[in-house]
Amino acid sequence: MNKLRVLHLTSGEDRHGGKVSVMNILRESAPLMQIELAVLAEGDLTHAAEEEGFKVVKFLQKKRFDFTVIFKILSYIRNNPVDIVHCHGPRANLFGVFLKPFLKMPVITTIHSDFMLDDFTMGKMFTILFRMMNSMSIRRLDSYICVSAEMRKKLIERGYPLDKTHVAYNGISFEKVDSIPREVLFEKYQLPYDPQATYVGILGRLAPVKDHMTFLRGAKRAIERDSGLRFLIGGDGEEEHRMKAFIVEHQLEHHVFMMGHLSEPSDFFQMIDINALTSLHEGGVSYALMEGAVYSKPALATATGGLKEIVIEGVTGRLIPVGDDEAFAKALIEMCAHKIYLTYGQQMENYAKTHFSRSQMGINYLEIYERILSEKQKVFIIGYYGRFNLGDEAILDMTVKFIREISPRSSIKALSYQKHLTRLRSDVEAVSRNRIWSIMAALFSADVLVLGGGTLLQTASSKRSLWYYLSFVWMSKTLLKKKVMMLGNGFGPINGSISRKVTAKLLSMLDLILLRDEGSRAYMEKLGVVNPQIHVTTDFVYALDGKDEPLSVRENRVGVNVRKWSNAQTVYYDLAHTLDALIDAGKEIIFVPFEDEDMHAIELVKQQMKHNSVTLPFEPNYREVIRHIGGFEALISMRLHGMIFASLSHTPFVGIAYDPKIHYLCEQMDYPYVMDLASFDGEMTMSYLKQCQDASALAKLERYVVVQKAQIEESKHVMKHFL
C-alpha cells in the first residue's frame, strides 16, 4: 500500500513554539508517510528542516506580498501529486485559499494559536487587518487541526463545522540530555548561584501576549514574603526594555535575572525549580511547560487555553487567573511550603509522558488525515434534544457514541432546540428545529435517518409531536429512499385510528427497529406493524458508568424527582404529606430536577409540605446528577430516566408511573416497587421504600444493570449490519 503523501506549506520563518511544533510533526510523520516541506522564505524553520535532512522545496517570494509563487506551487503539485496540502501559519493559510480552487485534494491547516488574538509586528492597524485576513482564510480551508481541545472548543463556539475540526496535541521527546550540575550551569551563564534559594523560571519570547509584567509584579510580591526566591527569565523580544526598567525601578537586580535568547532550553529547565507561564492566552499546550515536564518541573500558569490541559490544579502545578500578580505570589509561596513543588513536579512528568508524548503525534496526524480523506456516511439523528432534559441528552450522547464506535468516520448531525448548546455539549453538529431549510438540507444529504431513543412516537404529550416525527420518516423512506432506523426507542401509546394506521404502515417500512422494552414491541405488534427487523434491546443510557464516587453520601437521604403533569395535582398533595412523614421519621428530603420545568412541580409539592427540604439547582450535566443519586438511600421518581440513573448507581427507587413506559421498565426489571399516578398511596410508598432497600432487591437491581450492558453490546452487532 502506498504511503500517504503530504505537502506541508509554511512561511519558513517560524521561530520558537511554531518552529518546534512543525518540526515535531515532520519528525513523527516521516516514518508513517511521505512528507515534504514547502517554504515561502528562508528562516529558522527552513534551516532546521534542512539540517535534519527533510526534503525542503523553496518557493521564495521576492516580497511578502509576491503571489506569483502560487503558480510555481501549483505546477509543482501537478508534477508531484500529493494527497493533502497542510498549511501552517497566516501566510500559508492565505496561499492555501488561493491554491484550493485548482486542487483536487484537501487543503487543511493546523491552528497553533488563537488566530483572533495573534500579534503581528507591524503595528495595531496591520495586526487587526492580518487577523481578519487569517480568519477569513481559515474559514475557506477544508479542515482544521487544533493543538488543544480548548482551541477546538473555541472554533466550535465560532460556528466552525464539528466534523472538520480535530485535535492533535503537540508532543515532545522525553529523552533527557546529560544532567549538568546546577552550579556549573549558573557559572556557564555568569549568574550568581545560591544553593539554598528556590528558582522560578519563565521561558518564551518577550511579547505582550506572554504578559511577563504579571510575572515580574508577582515576583516582587513573592520576594517581599520570601527573600529566598530567585527568578530567571529566558527569551528575547519587544518587551525586553520595559522589563529591565521594571527590575531596576523596583531594585530586583539581586533576585530577578534576564538571560536573553537561549539556544539550549534544557539548560534553563535544569536551573529552575518551578516553571512559570503568565500568558494572556495560549492556543495550545505550551512547549515551555512540556519541556519543563521532561525535567520534572511543576507549572505555575494562567488558567487560559491549552494550559489547563497540562496544568492540573493541585496535581501538576497551580493555575491562577490571567493578569493576577497577587494570585501568582500567593500560589508560589504555597508551592514552596514544605517543598510541595517537588511532588507536583514528579506528577507533572508522569502526566505529560502519558498525554503529550511526541511518538503519538505522527499516529494522531495519520489518523486525522485518513479521516479527512475517507468517504463519510452521513447520519441525521432526530429526537427531543436541546431542551436539556437530562434523559434525552444522555440518550443523544450514547447514540452518537455507538454510531461512532460502529462507523468511526460517520458525519453526524442531530436535531436540536438549541443548536449552539448541543454542538458544544454533545460534540455533534446540530440542526435547529425551527429552521425548515436547514432540516430539509440535512434530510436530503443524509444517508441514514435515526430516531434516537426516547418515546418519540406517541400521543400522550400531543398528536402534533407524533406527526412531526412521522413526517421525517415518510419523507426519508418514501420520497428520498434513505435508510431509516429506530435505535433504543420506546413506543406508544397512540390514540386515533388514522394515527395508528399511518404509524403502522410507515414503521413496517423501516430498515431496523431497536426497542428498549418488550412492552413497546407488544404494543407495536398490536398496532399491526409487520417488520422482521424489530429487536428488543434496552435504553442506551445503560451504557453509562453509574458507579463513580458519589458527590456526597449520607444515610437517611431520600431523593425525589417529580415532573410537571396535567393531572398530578392530587399526587403532589399526597406526596407532600408522605415526604413530611419521612422527615418526621428522620429522613432528609432532596429534590432533584431533571429539566427546568421540573422546578414548577417541585415548588407545588414543597408549598404543601410543613417541613423544610432541599432542592438541588438544575444541573445540565447528567453525570453529576447520577453521582448525586448515588449518595441517596433511595429515590422516589416520576421520570423514567430518574429510575434508570438510580439503577446505574445501584440506588433503590420507588417509581410513580404517569406513562406506560415506566411500567414497561419495571416489568422488564421484575421490579414491583412502582405505582400508577392515579392510584398513588403514601403508606404504600413508605412500605416500598423499606422493601426496595432489602439486600435481595438491591442484588436484583445490580444484576439487571449488568444484563442491560451486555444487551447493549449485542445491539451494536445488530447495528453494524445497517450502518
Confidence check: pLDDT of 551 > 90: no
By C-alpha distance, which of 433, 532, 536 is closest to 491? 536
Confidence check: pLDDT of 121 > 60: no
- Beta-carbon contacts of 679 under 8 Å, excluding residues fewer than 6 positions away, are none
Residue 545 pLDDT level (bands cut at 50, 70, 90): confident
pLDDT, averaged across the chain: 91
Q: What's the pLDDT score for residue 193?
A: 95
CATH fit for domain 182-346, picks 3.30.200.20, 3.40.50.280, 2.60.120.640, 3.40.50.2000: 3.40.50.2000
Calculate mean pLDDT across residues 15-28: 84
Confidence check: pLDDT of 606 > 60: yes
Q: Are the folds of 375-537 and 557-708 the same?
A: yes
Strands (E), 391-511: 411-416, 429-432, 448-454, 483-489
Q: Which residue has the higher pLDDT, 125 or 292?
A: 292
123: left (phi over 0), alpha (psi -120 to 50) or beta: left
Contact 610, 589 (CB under 8 A): no
Across 358-372, 514-528, 543-557, the highest mean pLDDT is recorded for 514-528
By C-alpha distance, which of 307, 709, 696, 669 is closest to 541? 709
Residue 126 pLDDT level (bands cut at 50, 70, 90): low
Q: How far apart are CA 538 and CA 224, in angstroms?
A: 64
Calculate mean pLDDT across residues 198-221: 94
Q: Which residue has the higher pLDDT, 65 or 213?
A: 213
Could you read off the pLDDT of 634-668 as tens digits, one per residue? 999 999 999 999 999 999 999 999 989 999 999 99
Per the DSSP assignment, residues forming a β-bridge with 7 are 36, 85
Calculate mean pLDDT across residues 361-389: 91
Is 165 in a helix, a strand, or coil?
strand
Confidence check: pLDDT of 515 > 70: yes
Q: How far apart are CA 429 and CA 676, in angstroms?
A: 39
Place of cell 518577550: 206
Q: What's the pLDDT score for residue 118?
A: 66
CA-based end-to-end distance of the chain: 27
CATH assignment of 5-167?
3.40.50.2000
Q: Where are the alpha helices (DSSP H) in 295-418?
A: 325-336, 341-355, 359-373, 390-406
- Provide the CA 337 distance to its chain's centre, in angstroms: 35
- What is the share, in percent, of the chain residues with pLDDT greater than 90? 74
Q: What's the pLDDT score for residue 374?
A: 87
Contact 252, 223 (CB under 8 A): yes
Q: What's the pLDDT score for residue 177?
A: 74
Q: Return the domain boundaries, the chain.
A: 5-167, 182-346, 375-537, 557-708
Q: Which residue has the higher pLDDT, 579 or 281?
A: 579
Q: What's the pLDDT score for residue 458?
A: 94
What's 375-537's CATH class? alpha beta
Label each residue of 76-135 as H, E or C: HHHHCCCCEEEEECHHHHHHHHHHHHHCCCCEEEEECCCCCCCCCCCCHHHHHHHHHHHH
Q: How far apart are CA 283 and CA 306, in angstroms?
A: 6
The yes/no answer on whether domain 557-708 falls in CATH 3.40.50.2000 is yes
Could you read off the pLDDT of 413-463 as tens digits, one per residue? 999 999 998 998 999 999 999 899 999 999 999 999 999 989 999 998 888
Q: Which residue has the higher pLDDT, 21 or 312?
A: 312
User: Using alpha carbons only, what angle is made at residue 576 by residues 570 and 581, rounded to the nearest 5 degrees?
Assistant: 130
Lowest mean pLDDT among 11-25, 28-42, 626-640: 11-25
Lowest mean pLDDT among 163-177, 335-349, 530-544, 672-686: 163-177
